[in-house]
Structure 1
Amino acid sequence: MRIFEKLNNHVLKGLVAGLGVVAAGVAAMPLASLAEPAHGLAIYGEPALPQGFAHLPYANPDAPQGGTIRMAEPGGFDSLKPWVLKGNAAWGVGVHVTESLMMRSIDEPFTLYGLLAETVEVAPDRTWVEFVLRPEARFSDGSPVTVEDVIWSYETLGTQGHPRYHSAWSKVARIEPAGARGIRLTFTEPDRELPLLMGLRPILKKAQWEGQDFAESGLEPPIGSGAYVIDQVDPGRAISFRRNPDYWGRDLPLMAGVNNFDVIRYDYFGDANAMFEAFKAGEVTVWRELSAQNWATEYDFPLVARGEVVTSEIPNERPSGIVGLALNTRNPIFADWRVRQAMIEMFNFRFINQTLNGGADPRITSYFSNSVLGMDHGPATGPVAALLEPHAASLPPGALEGYSLPEGDARAMDRAAIRRSMALMAEAGWTIQDGQLRDDQGQPFAFEILLNQNGTAMRSGSEVRQIVNIYVEALRPLGITPRVTLTDAAQYVERTNNYQFDMTWYERGLSLSPGNEQRLYWGRDGVTTPGSRNWMGMDSPAAEAMIDAMVASETAEAFTAAVQALDRVLTAGRYVIPVSFSPVSRLAHAADLTYPDNIPIYGDWPGFLPEVWWQETN
C-alpha cells in the first residue's frame, strides 16, 4: 500500500500521522496537544496506534526467535562510544545496547511510542515535556533505570557528547525530577519538535561513567537497557551482540516480533570487494548491493545457484537524501556560486550513470526529491514563495526562479557543458592561461578530492573512485587537475570532522520528518564548530529561516511548504554534485533469513534490519 493511502486511512480514522495529509489532498489539521499523559506522541495529530496496541504494524509477532545474523562493515573501529566526537565507534552499540525514553515507528513520518517511558505529556504550547519511567525498566546488570540516570544522560550528552546533541540541548532551560519516576524538561521557547527529540536521547548508566572524561573515546563495553549486550569485541575487526535473556522489555507490545536473533555480529573488512567475497563465501549472511549494475550481473555465484542465498528488493517512500561530491565553501575557490555551478556542469551524470550503472537508477534532483517534501523545479509559488521572498536578496540564483541540474550528454565529453562552465569561470575571474585555469594573479585553480578508501554506507570505495576518475578526466578541458587523496576510515573521519578537505564524498539520508537536526546539517554553527554535518560550510540566513518556519509549523501544509522552501535554498546553493539514488534497497541474504510481509513506509531503514528480521528454523 502506498504511503499516501496509508496516511489517508489514518486521516479517515481521525489519526493524522504527519505529512501525507497534504499529499493526499486532505485539508491540513492543526497541531493537537496532549491534555494528559499518553502512550505516544506525534508531531501532528495523534499516534496511529492506539493505547493497548498489540505490535508494530511492520513486525511479525509470531516470528521465531534464535539464530545468528552476520553483517559486514567497511573499515574498522577503535571505540565503543558512539555518543562522542572522538574515535571511530563500532556500529550497533547505540542501536542494540542502549535505549531511549521513546521509540520511533518507521511506518509513520514522526511518531514515537513509550519505551523506557510509560507515558509522555506535553504542554499545550509545547514549552515542556514530561516523561514517566516504567517501574520495570532495568539496565542489563539488573539495576533499575532511574530518574537520576536520565537527567545525567541528558546533561552529559548535551554538554560533553557529540555536537549533534548540543543544538537541541541549548533550548532546554532546565531538567528536573517530577515525582518518583518522572522527568520534566522545560524549554527556553516553544518548539513543536523538541519534545520528540528529547524522547530519543540514549539513556546511559550514570554510575558506569561518573569520574571519567566522558568526551574521550574508549573500548569499555557500555551498560545499557537494550535487548542486547556486547558479547565479543575484536577491536577494528569484529563485534558481536548477544540477546539478553533477562531483557526487561521483552513483553512490551513494541517488542513483539522485534529483536529475534540470539546473536548479531558485524565483521569489518578493508573494502567492499573483500566484504562481497566474504558474503559469497557464506561468512556474511546479508549484503546490501549498492550498484544496480552489479545487482543485474553479479548474482550467479554458487550459493545463489544452490538456493542458499536469495535476493530481495525492499521499496521505500522516503526522500532521496543527498549523495555526491560536496564542495567545501570554506575554501575561497568554492565560495562563488558560479564556480560551484561550473563544477556541477562538468559532472556528466548521464555518461557516468550509463557507464557505471547501466543508467538503471535515477538522479537525485534535490535533497528531498522522491517525496512530497521535494521542491518544484519551476518558479516558487504560493506559501513557498511567500517564505522565500523576504530573503530574495540573499538567495542563490534559481531558488525563487526555479533550478534544475544539467541533463548531461551520452558522450564522455559534454561540449555544451564545457562552454557553459568556461563562461561561468570567466565571470568568476578564472581563465585558461598556458593550459591551466588561473585567476588574474596567476594562481592556479587547484583543489584536493578527499576519499575514504573503504567506501561508505551507500557506495563502495571502488565505485566512488570510478566516479571521481571519470570526473577528473572531464575537468581537464577546463585546465583543472584535482589531486585525489585516499585515506583509511579513521583519517577520513578525523579530516571530515574538522573540515580539512576541498571536495569529498558526501551522504546524508533525509526523512519524512525533518526538524531541528537540519541546523546540524546546514546551520551556520557548523561553519566553525567541528563535528557538524555542514561539511559544505554553508552560512545561509534563508536556510535557517526555513528551518525555523519548519519547526514552528502548526499544520502539515505549513510544514511541507517550509521544507520545500528549504529544499530550494539547498539545491540552488549548488553545494553538492548529486549522483543517483535507488527507490528500493537491494538485499541479498541467506535463504533462511526473512522479514515481514508488511513493509514500513521507510523501507530498509534503521529499525528494520536486523530488528524485525528472523531466521527460519527447520
Structure 2
Amino acid sequence: MEMASNLFARCKAATLLLGVFLIGGITCGLARAAPEHGIAMYGDPALPPDFVSLPYVNPDAPKGGRITFAEIGGFDSLNPFILKGTAPWGMRMLGYDTLLDYSWAEPFTLYGLLAESITTPPDRSWVEFTLRPEARFSDGSPVTVEDVLWSFETLGTEGHPRYIGAWKKIARAEATGPRTLRLSFARPDRELPLILGLRPVLKKAQWEGRAFAQSGLEVPIGAGPYMVDTFEPGRHLTLRRNPDYWGRDLPLNRGKYNLDELRYEFFGDADVAFEAFRAGLVDVYREPSAAKWETAYDFPAVAMGKVIKAEIPHQRPSGIHGLVMNTRRPVFADWRVRDAMLHAFNFEFINATLTGSKMPRIQSYFSNSVLAMRPGPAEGRVRELLVPYAAALLPGALEGYALPVSDGRASNRRNLRRAFALLEEAGWHVDERGVLRNATGTAFTFEILLRQGDTETQQIVDIFAQGLERLGIAPQVTAIDNAQYAERTDSYDFDMTFYLRTMSLSPGTEQRLYWGAEGVTTPGTGNLMGMDNPAAEAMIDVLLTAHAQEDFIAAARALDRVLTTGRYVIPIWYSPVSRLAHSARLRYPETLPVYGDWVGFLPDVWWSEENRE
C-alpha cells in the first residue's frame, strides 16, 4: 500500500508541476485502476454493482425437480479439461465455478462469481482478482489463491489445447494478498482479462501426486452448483444440486440452477434417443431437422399437451457447419480442388430433399450477424486490413465472393462442369475408364469420416457422393463410434469429415485455437482444416487489440473473408431458432438471452413444476 501511495504521489506531482501528460499518464493510469464488479469487452457492464438478478432469469423460480437429457455416444472420463478421454459436457459447465461468469444478455460482459471484484488498467496489461471469502469447494474447503494459480498453470501446461494459448501470454502470475492474485501479460490483448476470468478453478489438493493429463473416473471436487451423484461409464450420469452451494444467494445466480437433479442418458444414435423421448424416458429433445419438426411430433404426448414444442430465437452468428477438408492431406492442399468440391456439392437439391428447402444456407462463418463479410469487393477499413496480406489471399477475398448456387436439379450440370474445369486446372483428368487421375496415374479418392448413428449427415453425404461419381471420384464413407471419432479428429487423421464450429458475437482468443497456424501440428485444436494463413493471424491480432468497436467489426469481417474464401468447409444450413420439445412440467423465463438456446440457458435458468397434471 505504501508503495502504491508513493507511486500515485509521484504521478500527481509530475502532472501538476511539469504538465506533461505523456510522462505520467500511463503510470498514473495504472495507479488509478480500481476494483469493479464486472468487465465488458467494450464499454461498461450494463448491470450496476447492486443488480438484483440477470435480466433473463425468473428470480422467483421454484427449486426442485429433475430433468433427463438424451446424449449421443458415451463417456470414459470425468475430467473435462484434458485432451485424453471423453467427458460429459455437463461436468465442465455445471460442476466448476470460474472467477467471472457471463451475462448472456450482453455480447461479452462478465460479472464476479468466485471473484468479488476485478481490477485492470485502461491498457489491460494486467488483471487482479479478489476472491470472495465465502467461496467454497463442494467438500466445504475454501477456494484459495493457491488453488486459482495452480489451476491456471496446470490447465495452461497440461490441460486441453484450448487453455494453452492464454497461459503463454502470461508473463507473471502471483499472489498479491490473502485473497488477491495478479496476472501480468507479456503482450497486449484486451480480451485476456475476460478469458482468464472464465478459467475453471480446481482443487489443488485433489490432484497432488497424480498425473493431471491422464483421464479417469475419480469424482471431481469442484466449486460449482452441481456434484456427481451416480454414473455408469458410457451409460448414464446424474448430477445433483449441491444444497450447500456457496454461491446460491449471489445476485448473479438468483433464479439459476433450480433443478435438483440432472440426468444424462447416453444412446448409440439420434434415432434411438428420439424414441426414448417419445416414450417419456427423456424430458427434452433438441430437433435439428426442420422437416422432422413438422412431421415427427404427432405422437400422443404432444396432442395431450404433456410435451410442448418451443422455438427459441437467437441473435448469434451462424457459425460454420458442414464438410471440412483437411489441407494436411495432399488431395485437398490445392484450393482449386476444394473449390471443385464446393461446386460438386448440390446444396439446393440436398436442402429440398432433406428439409423441404426450409433451412437457410450458411454463407460465411459469421453470417446472420453484424460481423459477417459484406457482399461485393472489400471496402474501407476491411480492405485496409487485408491489402497488406494480398499475396496470402485466395481469389474473392478482395474482389468479392459468393458460394456456388445450383438450379436445384439433381443433375447439377452447370456446377459440375465448373468443378471439372477446376480439377483439370489442378492437374486431374478422367481416364478412359471414367476415373479421375493425376499425372502420375493416382486415382482421386478420399475418405469421408462420420459418426455412427448420424442419420442426417449420412443422407447428406450419400447425395454428395452421387455428384462426385459423375466427376470420376468414388469417396470412401467410414462411420465409427464416438471414441474412435474423437481420437481420429483430435489427431487430424481424416480427409473430410463433418464439422461444427459455433461463433459468438465477441470472437477473440479462441479464434487462434480455431484457425491459428499452431493448430496445423498441435493435436486437439479447432483447426481441423489445417489452415496456415498470415492474414487470418493478423486479423485475429486486430480483434484482440482493437479499442474501438468499429475496428473490431472490421477485423471480424476481414477474418470472415479469409476463412470463407479459403474454401475449407462446404457449408450446409443453420437455423435462426432452436427447436426444443420438452416436458410440460419444465419451464423457462419469458425474457430470453440474446444468444437464445445456448450455454447458460438449459438447464441453467429452467425450473420444474413437478405437480403439473
TM superposition score category, shorter chain reference: over 0.9
- 1:339 counterpart (329, 337, 340): 337
CA shift at 1:347, angstroms?
0.4
Partner of 1:581: 574
Which residue of the partner structure matches residue 435 of structure 1?
Answer: 434
Q: Which residue of 2 aligns with 1:606?
A: 599
2-side partners of 1:564 and 1:53: how far apart?
34
Q: 1:193 is matched with which residue: 165, 168, 191? A: 191
Please list the CA deviations of residues 232-274 of structure 1 after superposition, one character each: whole Å capped at 9, or x if unmatched: 1111011011011111111100111000000011110000001
Amino acid at match of 2:511: Q
Choose which of 237, 243, 261 in structure 1 pairs with 2:241: 243
What is residue 494 of structure 1 aligned with on the other side?
Answer: 487
| Residue equivalent to 2:414 | 416
Which residue identity does 2:119 align to in structure 1? E
Partner of 1:549: 542
Verify the 8 A CA contact 1:34 1:124 in the aligned structure 2. Answer: no
Equivalences for 1:199-348 in 2 at 5 Å? 199-348=197-346
Q: Deviations over 1:355-386 (max 9, x none)?
A: 00111110000000000000012100000000
C-alpha separation between the residues in 2 aligned to 1:220 and 1:557?
A: 48
TM superposition shift of 1:617: 4.2
> Distance in 1 between the 2:280 and 2:201 partners?
36
Alignment-derived partner of residue 52 in structure 1? 50
2:170 aligned residue: 172
Deviations 1:12-59 (A, max 9, x none): xxxxxxxxxxxxxxxxxxx99983101000011110011010000011
Match of 2:555 among 551, 554, 562: 562
Matched position secondary structure for 1:112: strand
Paired residues of 1:204 and 1:224 also in contact (CA < 8 A):
yes
Rounded Cα–Cα distance in structure 1 between residues aligned with 2:312 and 2:31: 35
Choose from 350, 355, 372 the match for 2:348. Answer: 350
Shift of 1:96: 1.1
The Cα offsets for residues 404-425 of structure 1, whole Å up to 9 and x where unpaired, read as 0011222111000111011100
Q: Following the alignment from structure 1 to structure 2, what is the Cα–Cα distance between the partners of residues 533 and 125?
A: 29
Deviation per CA, 1:456-511: give whole Å up to 9, x if none: xxxxx000000000000111110000000010000000000000000000000000
Q: Within 1, Cα distance between the matches of 2:99 and 2:525?
A: 25
Shift in Å, 1:91: 2.1
CA distance in 1, matches of 2:144, 2:543: 34
Question: How far apart in 2 are the matches of 1:106 and 1:431?
Answer: 52
Tell me the percent identity.
Answer: 63
CA 1:66–1:91: 2 relative to 1, 3 Å: same
User: Does residue 160 of structure 1 match 2:153?
Assistant: no
The Cα shift of 1:118 comes to 0.3
Please name the residue that 1:396 is paired with.
Answer: 394
CA RMSD of aligned residues (A): 1.2
Equivalent of residue 383 in structure 2, options 382, 385, 402: 385
CA distance in 2: counterparts of 1:285 and 1:91, whole angstroms: 18
- C-alpha deviation, 1:106, in angstroms: 1.1
Partner Cα distance (2:216, 2:88) in 1? 11
Could you say which residue in structure 1 is the equivalent of 2:509? 516
Residue 77 (1) aligns with residue 75 (2): yes
- Partner secondary structure for residue 295 of structure 1: helix
Q: Equivalents in 1 of 2:470, 2:283: separation in Å?
A: 46
- 8 Å Cα contact 1:32/1:45 also seen in 2: no
Matched residue, 2:95: 97
Aligned to 1:276, the other structure's residue is in SS state helix
Cα distance between partner residues in 2 of 1:321 and 1:34 = 39
Are residues 1:572 and 2:571 paired?
no
> TM-score of the superposition, structure 2-length normalised?
0.94
Shift of 1:157: 0.2
Do 2:258 and 2:604's aligned partners in 1 also have CA atoms closer than 8 Å? yes
Q: Unaligned stretches of 5+ in structure 2?
A: 1-28
Post-superposition Cα deviations, 1:539-582, rounded to whole Å, max 9, x if no partner, equal 00000000001111011110000000000000000000000000
Match of 2:455 in 1: 462
CA contact (8 A) 2:97 2:223 kept: yes
Q: Which amino acid aligns with 2:451?
A: N
Give 1:98 shift.
0.5
2:14 aligns to what?
Answer: none
The answer on whether the counterparts of 1:592 and 1:616 sit within 8 Å (CA) in structure 2 is yes
Seen in structure 2, the aligned counterparts of structure 1 residues 609 and 32 have a Cα distance that, compared at 3 Å, is farther
Residue ranges of structure 1 left out of the alignment (5+ in a row): 1-30, 455-460
Query: Contact between 1:241 and 1:263, CA under 8 Å: does it hold in 2?
Result: yes
Corresponding residue for residue 149 of structure 1 = 147
Look up the SS of the partner of 1:131 in the other structure. strand
Superimposed CA distance per residue, residues 305-363 of structure 1 (whole angstroms, 9 cap, x where no aligned partner):
11110100000000000000000000111111110000000000000001001111100
Q: Secondary structure at the match of 1:184?
A: strand
Contact in 2 for aligned 1:172/1:185 (Cα 8 Å): yes
Counterpart CA distance in 1 for 2:307 and 2:548 is 46
Counterparts of 1:378 and 1:237 in 2: how far apart (Å)?
Answer: 51
Structure 1 residues 593 and 554: alpha-carbon distance in aligned structure 2, compared to 1, 3 A threshold: same
Q: Distance in 1 between matches of 2:303 and 2:193?
A: 51
Does structure 2 conserve the Cα–Cα contact (< 8 Å) formed by 1:32 and 1:44?
no
Instruction: Choose which of 459, 465, 478 in structure 2 pairs with 1:472.
Output: 465
- Aligned residue number for residue 452 of structure 1: 451
Shift, 1:300, TM fit: 0.5
C-alpha distance in 2 between matches for 1:34 and 1:168: 26
- For the Cα contact (< 8 Å) 1:126–1:195, is it kept in 2? yes
Q: Does 1:406 align with 2:404?
A: yes
- Distance in 1 (CA, whole Å) between partners of 2:605 and 2:96 is 17
Kindly provide the amino acid, as one letter, of the partner of residue 310 in structure 1. I
In the alignment, which of 601, 608, 613 is matched to residue 615 of structure 1?
Answer: 608
The question of whether the paired residues in 2 share the 8 Å contact of 1:32 and 1:46 is answered with no
1:540 maps onto 2:498 in alignment: no
For 1:238 and 1:355, locate their aligned partners in 2 and report how far apart those are by CA, in whole Å. Answer: 35
Q: Distance in 1 between matches of 2:575 and 2:489?
A: 25
| AA matched with 2:422 | L
Mapping of residues 13-24 of structure 1, within 5 Å: none
SS of 2:55 mapped into structure 1: coil
Question: Following TM superposition, by how much is the alpha carbon of 1:81 offset from its aligned partner in structure 2, in angstroms?
Answer: 0.6
Per the alignment, in what secondary structure is the counterpart of residue 470 of structure 2?
helix
Query: Structure 1's 512 and 34: CA in aligned 2 closer, same or farther, altered over 3 A?
Result: farther
Q: CA offset at residue 191 of structure 1?
A: 1.0
CA 1:34–1:239 in structure 2 vs 1: closer, same or farther (change >3 Å)?
Answer: farther
Amino acid of the structure 1 residue aligned with 2:537:
E
Which residue identity is paired with 1:333?
V
> How far apart, CA to CA, are the structure 2 residues paired with 1:83 and 1:170?
17
Counterpart in the other structure of 2:520 = 527
Deviations 1:204-248 (A, max 9, x none): 000001111100101111101111110111110110110111111
Post-superposition offset of 1:393: 1.3
Checking the alignment, whether the CA contact within 8 Å between 2:30 and 2:121 is kept in structure 1 is no
3-state SS of 1:504 partner = strand
Higher-Rg structure is 2
